[in-house]
Amino acid sequence: MNMPLDHLAQGSSGLALQQNRVLRNTYMLLALSMVPTVIGALVGIQMQFSFLAGNPFIAFMLFLGIAWGFMYAIEKNKDSGLGVALLLGFTFFMGLMLSRILQVALGFSNGGSMITLAAGGTGAVFFTMATIATVSKRDFSNMGKFLFVGMIVILLAIVANIFLQIPALSLAISAAAVMIFSAYILYDLSRIVQGGETNYVSATLSVYLGIYNVFVSLLHLIMAFTGERD
């Protein structure tokens, strides 16, 4: 009579082990992905890399095309070592793209402290969301559609502001991005904990994008409010 209960307990235990393994591998690959990001950023700063600075609209569209191309290739190869290699290549590219805003920040007399503050703030956001996702028993998967709509609105606002060049709109976009992508980190980590995401390469890609966008948006806000010129 106890056989079904035994099988149920074993199945539940196996699922918990799989979720823990995916979460652990995600954190390990996420930490590893920061290495090519930092290298890419340092290379970009040394080269004074500027991605089609003369035409921001084409630069943004080309950036999105390359980024989505990488993401598509990563998803297609997520079950093989090639997926990991593509992910690390993507994070190097993202580090290279990050160098532009870092160069701007370093142009301020307190540039180093602002970058450190943005990194610390991003770390705090990630730790908070990871704790909520792990400790809370809630399923945050119902946030997906709302967050996707929010991300599309942010992308459209970015494109519009390339032409409008309204400083207040730029700050509003950054503030909204911090909130949306912080919630995305919670959503993505919750999916792992709840068993909705079983591939650590896909999970790492999603969480990495959330962290990256929170950092960039936080740095933009910090520069706007605390940047000091010599």
Scanning 107-142, the segments in alpha helix (DSSP H) are: 111-135
d(CA 216, CA 138): 29
d(CA 160, CA 196): 35
Look up residue 19 and give its amino acid: Q
**Distances from the Cα of 10 to the Cα of 6, 17, 18, 92, angstroms:** 6, 10, 12, 41
Per-residue confidence of the chain (230 residues) as pLDDT tens digits? 454 545 444 545 656 777 889 999 999 999 999 999 999 999 999 998 887 667 888 889 999 999 999 999 999 999 999 999 999 999 999 999 999 999 999 999 999 999 999 999 999 999 999 999 988 878 888 899 999 999 999 999 999 999 999 999 999 999 999 999 999 999 999 998 888 888 999 999 999 999 999 999 999 999 999 988 86
pLDDT in tens, 37-54: 999 999 999 998 887 667
d(CA 131, CA 124): 11
d(CA 72, CA 222): 33
Residue 222 has a pLDDT of 97
d(CA 162, CA 185): 27
- CA 110 from chain centre, in angstroms, equals 25
Residue 132 has a pLDDT of 94
What are the residue ranges spanned by the domains of the chain?
3-226
Residue 8 has a pLDDT of 45
